[in-house]
Structure 1
Amino acid sequence: MALVGYARVSTLDQDHTTQIDRLKVAGCKKIFSEKKSGTSKKGRTALDECLNYLREGDTLVFTKIDRLARSSRDLHNLVHDLEDKGVTIMALDQAIDTRTPHGKAFLGMLAVFAEFETNIRKERQLEGIAKAKQEGAYTGRKPTAQAKRQEMEKLLAEGMSKPKIAKALGVSVASVYNVLKSAA
């Protein structure tokens, strides 16, 4: 039976050293870490490697439940898959240890709150963006491809292909097609 650690922060400028240190103190000999958003399981290669590494009797250890998953569905799916493998989980900052019935129950409750927190944050962001737009402070990204319409039309008239136009102007091929389609 091994304690296997998993540490995660959401962005590249964040640091997961404290999490890793705490996992070592907890007795984890093998630790997987990454800098990826936890809103989805997709694209989290260190988590995938960790899940493949775990064996029956192991315990997956992390500092907080939201380090593992922000979606209650992802969390429940992960826990279900781990239980099928005979792997338990433990969160250091919360009373979660799925080796006990109390830990399993608490896990379910915290999963709901982690997802709720994510949804509230999204709602606040959208409200902030709407307010900034109203005040004229948020205008969004400038349409780069539309600004290059004349150059695109000129290059197309000279016989250049749309993929080559995209490369020459530093825009996507889809943008070239969209801009030239709306010009016709």
Structure 2
Amino acid sequence: MFIRAYLRASTDDQDANRARKTLQSFAADQGVRIAAFYIENASGTTVDRSELLRLLADASPGDVLLVESVDRLTRLPRPAWEQLRNQIAAVGLQVVALDLPITHAVLKPTGEDGIQEWMLKAISQMFLEFMATFARKDYDTRRERQIQGIEKAKSTGLYRGRQTDQEQRRRIQECLAKGFSVRKTADLLSCSTSTVSRFKREAAALMQSDDQLFIL
């Protein structure tokens, strides 16, 4: 059994690797080992996720797609979720989610006959469908409340938009100035490598702009 763990965080400022130890501990408790990790910062509301697509391309029938929770796999609207679900089924993957215990049975074959195994898979799929729907509902509710909150803040003159984390930027700058790599900086500050890389790009663009102004 080849277990492929998928870890996702929504934004660059979140640590997509956060759940790695949790998944490894779970696998050890089940007596299995994770053979490959696929980690990315991307929205669960789109199927255009490079690491998830790479996982699907790598997978073979009988492999397991392991996630911390169903919402790490999908927050997709219904048509997009059906598309992803069909892709998962087409390559023969079985989804195991830590927050959906009924799916854990996949990791411990019990020698059940064909009918019992079919029923277990059918029930697991039913609960997976429910959790996928709930994940999207939760996303829509959060978005609606966020929009309502912003509108209320605007009406009172309190809304200022998303503020840049100046302290994090300062610490990134210090680490890079000391010669630390992007990966080392991200590890030290518990942020994503894409956050550090974005800061480097912005800093380089600013320096280039300043140089051009000096020449002029």
Shift of 1:68: 0.6
Structure 1 residues 84 and 96, CA gap change in structure 2 (3 angstroms): farther
Structure 1 residues 135 and 77, CA gap change in structure 2 (3 angstroms): same
Does 2:110 match 1:76? Answer: no
Contact in 1 for aligned 2:75/2:139 (Cα 8 Å): yes
Equivalent-residue separation in structure 2 for 1:15 and 1:38 (angstroms):
15
SS of 1:90's equivalent in the other structure is: strand
Residues 145-160 of structure 1 aligned to structure 2 (within 5 Å): none
Equivalent-residue separation in structure 2 for 1:61 and 1:47 (angstroms):
12
* Paired residue total: 141
More helix per residue: 2
Contact in 1 for aligned 2:47/2:84 (Cα 8 Å): no
Q: TM-score, normalised by structure 1?
A: 0.69
Structure 1 residues 78 and 134, CA gap change in structure 2 (3 angstroms): same
Give the % identical residues. Answer: 35
Equivalent-residue separation in structure 2 for 1:119 and 1:70 (angstroms):
9
Where does structure 1 lack aligned partners over 5 or more consecutive residues? 142-169, 171-184
Residues 71-150 of structure 1 aligned to structure 2 (within 5 Å): 71-73=76-78, 74-97=80-103, 100-138=121-159
The residue that corresponds to 1:34 in the other structure is 40
> After TM superposition, what 4+ stretches of structure 1 lie above 6 angstroms from structure 2?
none
Shift of 1:6: 0.3
Q: TM-score, normalised by structure 2?
A: 0.59
Shift of 1:139: 6.2
Larger radius of gyration: 1
Where does structure 2 lack aligned partners over 5 or more consecutive residues? 28-32, 107-119, 163-208, 210-216
Q: CA RMSD in A?
A: 2.1
Equivalent-residue separation in structure 2 for 1:17 and 1:95 (angstroms):
22
Aligned match for 2:51, one of 42, 46, 52: 46
